C-alpha cells in the first residue's frame, strides 16, 4: 500500500482512453493492491473520488464518493469497467467542481442529475444501481477520467473558472442566490 503520485493536467496519462480490467483478475493481488493504494491516496489528498489514470494507471477503475451511510459517514464505491447511462438528459445539476489533477482551481459544470451505473465491484461481482444529485455528478466526473476527459472540457462559461479562494469569495455567494442550484467543493 502506498500514497501514489497524482498526475496533473497536462500529463498525457490523463488524456488517454483507459483499458478495461479482466474481471477474473479483480480479486488478484495486483488490482486489490491498486485499490488499496488509491484509497490511501484519495484520503491523503482529501478527495471525494479518484480514477486510476490520475495515479498513472490507465485502466478502468474508479473510486467514487459523495454518499453517506445512516450515521452520516462518507461511503465510497469501487467501480471497475463502469458504464454510465444518463437517465434524464434535461435535468441538470450545476456545481463548482474540483479535481486532484487540477489543483487549486474550481470550475462550474452542469451535468445530468441522474444516472444508471453498471460495473464490477472490488469483489468481482457485477453491480447495477442508479444515483441522483451529488453522487451522480461524482461518478460522471470519475468515469470521464477513464475516457481521457477532464471537467474543464465540460465547462461552458470560462468566467466561472476560478482559484479556490476566489471561488469561495466571489462565486459561491452569487450562485447561492439562485434557486435550485447546489454547490459542492470536493476534489475528485
Ligand atoms: Zn478529477
For the chain, 188 residues long, give each residue's pLDDT as a single digit of tens: 799 999 999 999 999 999 999 999 999 999 999 999 999 999 999 999 999 999 999 999 999 999 999 999 999 999 999 999 999 999 999 999 999 999 999 999 999 999 999 999 999 999 999 999 999 999 999 999 999 999 999 999 999 999 999 998 888 654 444 444 455 566 77
Please indicate, yes or no, if residue 53 is contained in any of the structural domains: yes
> Which position among 57, 122, 142, 187 bears the catalytic label?
142
DSSP letter string over 132-168?
A: ESHHHHHHHHHHHHTTT--GGGG-S-GGGEEEHHHII
Of 153, 179, 143, 162, which is closest to residue 49 (Cα–Cα)?
143
Please indicate, yes or no, if residue 59 is contained in any of the structural domains: yes
Yes or no: say if 63 and 38 are a contact pair by the CB < 8 Å rule: yes
164 CA → ligand 1 middle, Å:
15
The CB density around residue 156, as the number of other CB atoms within 10 Å, is 10
CATH number, position 156: 3.90.45.10
Please indicate, yes or no, if residue 22 is contained in any of the structural domains: yes
Which triple of cell numbers denotes residue 186?
Answer: 470536493
Q: What is the pLDDT of residue 3?
A: 96
Q: What is the pLDDT of residue 184?
A: 57
102 CA → ligand 1 middle, Å:
7
Please indicate, yes or no, if residue 76 is contained in any of the structural domains: yes
Please indicate, yes or no, if residue 4 is contained in any of the structural domains: no
Please indicate, yes or no, if residue 184 is contained in any of the structural domains: no
56 CA → ligand 1 middle, Å:
13
Of 12, 140, 23, which is closest to residue 80 (Cα–Cα)?
23
Q: What pTM, to 2 d.p., does this model score?
A: 0.91
143: CB partners within 8 A, 6+ apart: 51, 62, 79, 82, 84
* Residue 169 structural domain: 12-178
Q: What is the pLDDT of residue 178?
A: 45
| Residue matched to cell numbers 476534489 | 187
Total length of the chain:
188
Which triple of cell numbers denotes residue 83?
Answer: 458504464
Which triple of cell numbers denotes residue 70?
Answer: 445512516
Q: What is the pLDDT of residue 1?
A: 73
6 CA → ligand 1 middle, Å:
10
Which triple of cell numbers denotes residue 10?
Answer: 497536462
The verdict on whether 166 is a catalytic residue reads no
Report the domain count for the chain. 1
137 CA → ligand 1 middle, Å:
11
Q: What is the pLDDT of residue 141?
A: 98
Please indicate, yes or no, if residue 5 is contained in any of the structural domains: no
Please indicate, yes or no, if residue 183 is contained in any of the structural domains: no
Amino acid at each position: 500500500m502506498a500514497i501514489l503520485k497524482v498526475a496533473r493536467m497536462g500529463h498525457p496519462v490523463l488524456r488517454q482512453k483507459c483499458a478495461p480490467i479482466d474481471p477474473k483478475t479483480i480479486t488478484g493481488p495486483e488490482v486489490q493492491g491498486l485499490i488499496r493504494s488509491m484509497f490511501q491516496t484519495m484520503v491523503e489528498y482529501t478527495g471525494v473520488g479518484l480514477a486510476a489514470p490520475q495515479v498513472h494507471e490507465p485502466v478502468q477503475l474508479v473510486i467514487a464518493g459523495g454518499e453517506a451511510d445512516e450515521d452520516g459517514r462518507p461511503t465510497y464505491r469501487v467501480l471497475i469497467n463502469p458504464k454510465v447511462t444518463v437517465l434524464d438528459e434535461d435535468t441538470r445539476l450545476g456545481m463548482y467542481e474540483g479535481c486532484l489533477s487540477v489543483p487549486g482551481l474550481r470550475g462550474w459544470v452542469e451535468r445530468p442529475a441522474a444516472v444508471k451505473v453498471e460495473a464490477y465491484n472490488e469483489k468481482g461481482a457485477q453491480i447495477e444501481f442508479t444515483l441522483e444529485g451529488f453522487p451522480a455528478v461524482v461518478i460522471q466526473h470519475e468515469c470521464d477520467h477513464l475516457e481521457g476527459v477532464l471537467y474543464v472540457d465540460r465547462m461552458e462559461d470560462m468566467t466561472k473558472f476560478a482559484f479556490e479562494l476566489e471561488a469561495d469569495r466571489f462565486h459561491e455567494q452569487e450562485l447561492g442566490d439562485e434557486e435550485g442550484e447546489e454547490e459542492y467543493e470536493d476534489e475528485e
